[in-house]
Amino acid sequence: MPFNRLPARDPRTVARDIPGVLDILFPRLTGGVVNALNATMFSFPDISPLQSEMIDRSQLQKAMMFELSMARAESELRGGAVASWDECLAVASKRQRRHFDASIPEKLEPSDILVADHAARNLVAMLNSVRTQRPSSILEHAPLIPGLGWVASGNGDFAIGSTLIEVKHTNRNFGAADFRQVLMYWLLRYARAVENDCAIWSDVLLLNPRRNAALLVNYDHLLRSASASSNRVELVELLRSAVVQDFDRR
């Protein structure tokens, strides 16, 4: 489909479903680069990964299961009264309804809650550990990802200080699609910063509560590794030419 006929897409969708836009910007984001980045993964002490047998007992779609865990973790991290599982289900269902293939459950089974609770506790423990290391920084929920052209604005998962935090619940290492996504987030944020001088992120922290895996990457290093140019302004202009000029012609 030509770019000038595309409806507005949120940044997460663009990075996941329309990778061609970012392949132009990041042609070096190949298997070798991804493997080299994953070689620096680490885990948090005293956190147990989720076992496959436990996950398989739940009949929930994996996306719904871990959206549920995100809602629960977010509630705990905000402090105060923790949302009930019914309230978490309502939040997760609202988010998942954006996807055409989402299967929304009427109620949660004990096996569903067991998995979601484990994943939520893992994420809370990970983020609390990060906050302990950065006591002067506030954990930001759903940081704004600005839009550009036919890319609508959206939200990341968390941020703390100058570090964007993106959460992935998968049974694999972080992949090219994950790095494309956080690179897209950075470019959109930088494009806005050029216009209004807002702060940009210097690092990205990828977290996988399901596997107790984490990866901290400096954005400058990631940009140099993945792109054909290390010039930030040039990269933003390449993105702008793909998503703004065609948008203006619609």
Tens of pLDDT, residues 165-201: 999 999 999 999 899 999 999 999 998 888 787 789 9
Q: Which domain holds residue 48?
A: 3-248
Q: Note the pLDDT of residue 117.
A: 98
Please state, in angstroms and rounded to a whole number, the distance separating the CA atoms of residues 240 and 188: 9
> For the chain, what is the domain count?
1
Query: Tokens at residue 125, please?
Result: 């423990």
Q: Is 108 left (phi over 0), alpha (psi -120 to 50) or beta?
A: beta
The pLDDT tens digits of the residues spanning 8-24 come to 566 776 666 555 667 77
Say how many CA atoms lie within 13 Å of 9 toward its Cβ: 19
Q: Identify which has the larger pLDDT, 23 or 40.
A: 40
SS3 content of the chain, % helix, strand, coil (to 5): 50, 10, 35
